[in-house]
Amino acid sequence: MARDSFDLTLQPPAPLGTDAARIVIGVTALVMLLAALRFLLVGAWLVLPFMIVDLALLVWAFRASRRAARAFERLRLTGDRLLVERTDAQGRQERWELPRAWTRVELEQHAPQNRLWLRHRSRRLLIGRHLNRRERGEVYDVIAGALNR
């Protein structure tokens, strides 16, 4: 890899596809409908509003997951600069430029979680919030290797 060819994009995992989500929601709705009929037959109709709320929350969760998956972070080395661009789920962007020579990557090891930081002097920038513990370790190795080249 050439000195200036580092380009890393960190993105949350994609949620279920639209068709798969519809199937899950449909099957869940069918099971809830059968349970609702059973409750109606025994006179416990007050359970029905709670089942409707449960199904609505499931739909909301799938939509929120799809929306959250639009966020990403991009790290690029260009000459003597490390460019960090963060785009949130709503499309808002933040950008930082750090000098390559003075920037270090740090991996805090705290059980059960860890955190990945880019440090330049006293400033720290948290990256990879959506990554799990193992993935943060792998990304740490990749970034450290790129910065040390």
Q: Is the residue at 144 inside a domain?
A: yes
Query: Structure pTM?
Result: 0.72
89 plus 31 within the same structural domain: no
Contacts of 1 (CB under 8 A, 6+ apart): 146, 149
79 plus 62 within the same structural domain: no
37 plus 78 within the same structural domain: no
Q: Is the residue at 127 inside a domain?
A: yes
57 plus 97 within the same structural domain: no
122 plus 79 within the same structural domain: yes
Q: How far is 15 from 58, CA to CA, in rounded Å? A: 13
pLDDT of residue 4: 56
Structural domains counted in the chain: 2
Q: Is the residue at 122 inside a domain?
A: yes
pLDDT of residue 111: 67
| pLDDT digit string (tens) for the chain, length 149 residues | 445 578 999 998 888 888 999 999 999 999 999 999 999 999 999 999 999 999 999 999 999 999 988 999 999 998 889 999 999 989 999 999 999 888 999 998 876 778 899 999 888 999 988 888 889 999 999 999 888 87
Contacts of 114 (CB under 8 A, 6+ apart): 107, 108, 133, 136, 137
